[in-house]
Structure 1
Amino acid sequence: MSESHNNYVEGEWKESESGEVFDVHNPATGETVAQFPRSTANDAHEAVEAAASAQAAWANTPGPTRGAVLRATAKRMDDRKAELTQTLVREEGKTRTEAAAEVQRAIDIFYYYAERAMDYDGTRTLSSTADRNLYTIREPIGVAGLIVPWNYPIAIPSWKSAPALATGNTVVLKPAMEAPTTFATVIDCFDEAASEIGVPDGVLNFVVGSGEDVGSAIIGHEAVDAVSFTGSRSVGEMVYEQATDDHKRAQTEMGSKNPTVVTPSADLESAVDIVGGGAFGVTGQACTATERVIVHDSMHDEFVDELINYAENLVIGSGLDDPDMGPHVSQDELESTLDYVDVGTNEDATLVYGGNRLTDGEYDAGHFVEPTIFTDVESDMRIMQEEVFGPFVGIMSYSDFDEAIELANDVAFGLSAGIVTNDHTKANRFIRDADYGIVKVNEKTTGLELHVPFGGMKASSSETYREQGEAGMDYFTIIKTVYENY
């Protein structure tokens, strides 16, 4: 059964001026689960203008009141947690366990920023002159345009919108067309909270459509002051260029090709679990997923055998059945992964496991693929340089730790890197020398804490501002310095 949804603009659910709609499908079964408007640039402009009209009133709303709205939204999300989990599974394909964890994360994000809205401000500094107060105030930057991906359809829009709202900005958010339903439910929770507490119409707006029509219109509107984007490198670079050409504040988090180094001191079983979870969890559809595995010569062959065994034992199926791994989100994403299997074979890498589409029985109508493991790979191969965004790893070996660090850094990207080791010296050398925004020791490259900064280096990020925690609030504010001579 599918439901029809609309845009949310100026405190109301509204149809698109186009009158056109599109279907959202369950990637495991092909069934239609929701219908949304195919919005236009004019729809986006209407949302931006509503946000601009509401901005001053929202900025002047006391921080504790803004926090109360976020808290009431979080409470409603918590009450509807089972529904949100089911929706996320049906439209994105995550397993039920993965979806439930993401939903809980989004709830926690709203609760976190609800509390931070009460105490986030500037700092007081001692003046060099007597009879003077010297302090800073953090003020909202204005209207925030948020463009989010499909792979974390509730967590990422939450960690962008909640800090923006907490700091007094108004928001126009464009979800990905593959998975807009989950956050539409969050918008409904916000609408109920806003009606209860009293919020200016237009504080939070939600417009569904293509990046070409809706995304570009949001970025290009003169009333938008800041743009935050998460998605592919190619699109992110265009977003950053468009936003900065108009002198807007811009923040982009893009793809990566994340390594995990395994040292001789590592426990083999733990290393396999860490790499397998980082590579094949959420079907590899995470910008922090492990794709480059760098294993010491002395344990390379045994590690490969054990990772193959790990992959063989994964249960693949519909997320509603809560298997170990669900489907790709779409046919296009599935075909992209299969194309990279062909690329690896043509590059003379050795396909030691997987790489096939699953089509029989329960898999017939879905976008299922086996986890894929390549060996005999070189660092400069395309499959080791380009983000695959599927359950796909290449395994390299090394003999010297300097070589391992060099291989880990030998990519254009720099989001998340891991090392599995019981050698304290090697762990700390890796922390120091890895060119990545996130470095993990004895943990998988995926998975994040919500109260610490998140972001990449090199081609993974604009390297302007970080997301999450207090850093997420810093992005949406500007500092005013006050000299008060009394």
Structure 2
Amino acid sequence: MANQSYKDQLNQSSDGQSQLQDRTTRYQNYINGQWLESSAGQYGQNRSPHNGELLGEFPASTAEDAKESIKAAKEAFPQWKKTSIQQRAVYLSKAAEILKSRAHEIGRDLSSEEGKTIAEGIGETMRAASILEFYAGEARQAVGQVIPSVNASTMIYTKRIPLGPVGLITSWNFPIAIPTWKMAPALIYGNTVVIKPADLTPKSVYHLVNALHEAGLPKGVVNCVFGRGSIIGPELLQSPDIKAISFTGSNQVGETIKEQAIKTGKKVQLEMGGKNPLVVLKDADIEKAVYIAIKGAFISTGQKCTATSRIIVEEDVYEMFRDRLIERTKSLKLGNPLDAGTFMGPCVSKSQQDTVLTMVEEGRKEATLLYGGTVPEQEELAKGFYVQPAIFEITSQDARIAREEIFGPVVTLLKVTDYNEAVKAANDTLFGLSASVCTNNLSLAQQFVDDIEAGMVHINSETSGAEPQVPFGGVKSSSDGPREQGKTAVEFYTQVKTIYMDQL
């Protein structure tokens, strides 16, 4: 194959895919309405975290590829801005229908590359379709105000105008939902897009972009450049033609993005870490509280910014809760995410598995490991990046595992004397994304809503989970900038223009 020309090696197609002679699927960037090879002709491998299976090859794009995508977004913006919001909605609705019609195929691909179960993969694909439908519906909602003037002959009103080309940098843990909840509001409000998907889960974003392509979206309105963030990111941050950056990922990277983006006058929206508490009060239904804890902590292998990572329990029910939690956790089935009976799949990568195992070892130095935290011994899981769910018992929140985001199936258990101590412990963190309380006391539930320092609060439900029609985001070090999702997304993707109209 080395003696053949590159084009001879490929059977080109119009949907961004091509086949190498060994039947490996190779995907292209999407720039200015076309599927294009990387300018350097280099590709990276996309592999399953379950068994290392090769799922495809994606471009290792260059700075030049990023510049071309920015140029395309800039050139497409004037016409897209003039396109009626109702027509923009048509494209989003069509893309939603395409995703729904292929939900099982896309969900399978998502699960194969990320490691979450097939049910979650299909569910996330349907969630992406719902997000597109929600923002298509926003085309029928008011996006401005009429404001009374002190002058009887003056009419004052506002309108929302798009920013221009925006850069989206997305994470691997919700590889189709997060790109959609950034892209859909950006598009409906008249912006053009350049997206840099996560290296570990590129195929999910390919499906989203391809759905928009098949829906007939005008060329240049959406551009997708696969590759390393260290190469693509600086181009988005430094280009004066990119007017805003929306990022989901680690705090360390987010703070660097914020610093660089502000220098060029960009709007910035950051969704970063969480160390989310579940508070279990003595009057709670213990069986339901255990169920909530397990779902919040171990679904998606704990790889959610909203995952439950700290469980704080009143002493009257602590031992009962602890013992039942361990018992239920032992029964969870780890395995191939594509198998229907699997509860928890692998970590997304070897690097992520190593991070989790390292934090488990750190936890052993400061806390009591009650269960798990090891690599499973089953032969069928030997090629994957699996970690048994880990439960630690701590006596102080000074423990590193109680303070740092692990992004894996690890929880800490802390016993407290009463509600006040529970809330104090829950708030003792740099993060403030999501929090939950299990209680049958309506007064304490309402008090918890007011006392807890978190952007999202759950009563008798898990810390994870968010519906597309409501705002998503946190306080403290968890988020920066306007909220994502729901009607509040308009705050980030538009700016306000005020008009004074007087009679002659």
Name the aligned partner's letter for residue 426 of structure 2. Answer: A
Establish whether residue 217 from structure 1 lines up as the match of residue 235 from structure 2: yes
Aligned to 2:285: 267
Name the aligned partner's letter for residue 470 of structure 1. Answer: K
Q: Which of 326, 341, 357 lines up with 1:338 in the alignment?
A: 357
CA–CA distance in 2 between the matches of 1:309 and 1:215? 45
Aligned to 1:37: 59
- Measured after TM superposition, the shift of residue 126 of structure 1 is 2.0
- Measured after TM superposition, the shift of residue 119 of structure 1 is 2.7
Q: Secondary structure at the match of 1:78?
A: helix
Name the aligned partner's letter for residue 19 of structure 1. Answer: G
Name the aligned partner's letter for residue 488 of structure 2. Answer: A
Cα shift readout 1:1-46 (whole Å, capped 9, x = no counterpart): 7421010000001111121110011111111101101011111111
Do 2:395 and 2:415's aligned partners in 1 also have CA atoms closer than 8 Å? no
Q: Secondary structure at the match of 1:294?
A: strand
Q: Which of 136, 145, 150 lines up with 1:114 in the alignment?
A: 136
Aligned to 1:208: 226
Establish whether residue 411 from structure 1 lines up as the match of residue 424 from structure 2: no
Aligned to 2:97: 75
Establish whether residue 192 from structure 1 lines up as the match of residue 214 from structure 2: yes
Do 1:167 and 1:476's aligned partners in 2 also have CA atoms closer than 8 Å? yes
Establish whether residue 158 from structure 1 lines up as the match of residue 183 from structure 2: no
Aligned to 2:343: 324
TM-score, normalised relative to structure 2: 0.94
CA–CA distance in 2 between the matches of 1:93 and 1:2? 20
Aligned to 1:229: 247
Do 1:16 and 1:43's aligned partners in 2 also have CA atoms closer than 8 Å? yes
Name the aligned partner's letter for residue 467 of structure 1. Answer: E
CA–CA distance in 2 between the matches of 1:115 and 1:3? 36
- Measured after TM superposition, the shift of residue 473 of structure 1 is 2.2
CA–CA distance in 2 between the matches of 1:84 and 1:117? 27
CA–CA distance in 2 between the matches of 1:367 and 1:57? 47
Alignment of 1:395-410 (within 5 A): 395-410=413-428
- Measured after TM superposition, the shift of residue 359 of structure 1 is 4.2
Q: Which of 372, 380, 386 lines up with 2:390 in the alignment?
A: 372
- Measured after TM superposition, the shift of residue 376 of structure 1 is 2.9
Cα shift readout 1:26-72 (whole Å, capped 9, x = no counterpart): 11111110110101111111101110111010010001000001111
CA–CA distance in 2 between the matches of 1:103 and 1:124? 38
Establish whether residue 467 from structure 1 lines up as the match of residue 484 from structure 2: yes
CA–CA distance in 1 between the matches of 2:298 and 2:234? 33
Do 1:259 and 1:291's aligned partners in 2 also have CA atoms closer than 8 Å? yes
Q: Secondary structure at the match of 2:335?
A: coil
Cα shift readout 1:262-292 (whole Å, capped 9, x = no counterpart): 0001011000001111000110000000001
Do 1:106 and 1:159's aligned partners in 2 also have CA atoms closer than 8 Å? yes
Aligned to 2:498: 481
Do 1:359 and 1:368's aligned partners in 2 also have CA atoms closer than 8 Å? no
Are residues 9 and 359 of structure 1, via their aligned partners in 2, closer, same or farther at CA, if it must alter by over 3 Å? farther
CA–CA distance in 2 between the matches of 1:21 and 1:450? 34
Unaligned runs of 5+ in 1: none
Do 1:145 and 1:173's aligned partners in 2 also have CA atoms closer than 8 Å? yes
- Measured after TM superposition, the shift of residue 360 of structure 1 is 2.8
CA–CA distance in 2 between the matches of 1:229 and 1:42? 21
- Measured after TM superposition, the shift of residue 408 of structure 1 is 0.2
Name the aligned partner's letter for residue 351 of structure 2. Answer: D
Cα shift readout 1:185-242 (whole Å, capped 9, x = no counterpart): 1111111112xxxx43210000011111012211221100010000011111111111
Q: Which of 130, 135, 141 lines up with 2:152 in the alignment?
A: 130
Q: Secondary structure at the match of 2:140?
A: coil
Alignment of 1:287-302 (within 5 A): 287-302=305-320
Unaligned runs of 5+ in 2: 1-22
Name the aligned partner's letter for residue 130 of structure 2. Answer: D
Do 1:67 and 1:118's aligned partners in 2 also have CA atoms closer than 8 Å? no
CA–CA distance in 1 between the matches of 2:317 and 2:158? 55
Q: Which of 453, 469, 473 lines up with 1:435 in the alignment?
A: 453
Name the aligned partner's letter for residue 46 of structure 1. Answer: E
TM-score, normalised relative to structure 1: 0.97
CA–CA distance in 2 between the matches of 1:189 and 1:118? 23
CA–CA distance in 2 between the matches of 1:188 and 1:230? 22
Do 1:359 and 1:365's aligned partners in 2 also have CA atoms closer than 8 Å? no
Do 1:421 and 1:427's aligned partners in 2 also have CA atoms closer than 8 Å? yes
CA–CA distance in 2 between the matches of 1:126 and 1:36? 55
Q: Which of 46, 57, 70 lines up with 1:24 in the alignment?
A: 46
Do 2:46 and 2:200's aligned partners in 1 also have CA atoms closer than 8 Å? yes
- Measured after TM superposition, the shift of residue 118 of structure 1 is 3.5
Q: Secondary structure at the match of 1:484?
A: strand
Name the aligned partner's letter for residue 413 of structure 2. Answer: I
| Count, aligned residues | 480
Q: Secondary structure at the match of 2:465?
A: coil
Cα shift readout 1:151-177 (whole Å, capped 9, x = no counterpart): 000000000000000000000001001
Q: Which of 434, 441, 457 lines up with 2:475 in the alignment?
A: 457
Moved more, 145-154 or 425-434: 425-434
Aligned to 2:376: 358
CA–CA distance in 1 between the matches of 2:37 and 2:491? 34
Aligned to 1:8: 30
How well do the aligned residues superpose, as a CA RMSD in angstroms? 1.0
Aligned to 2:75: 53
Are residues 2 and 328 of structure 1, via their aligned partners in 2, closer, same or farther at CA, if it must alter by over 3 Å? farther
- Measured after TM superposition, the shift of residue 124 of structure 1 is 1.1
Moved more, 427-436 or 114-123: 114-123
Establish whether residue 149 from structure 1 lines up as the match of residue 167 from structure 2: no
Aligned to 2:321: 303
Do 1:84 and 1:103's aligned partners in 2 also have CA atoms closer than 8 Å? yes
Establish whether residue 282 from structure 1 lines up as the match of residue 300 from structure 2: yes
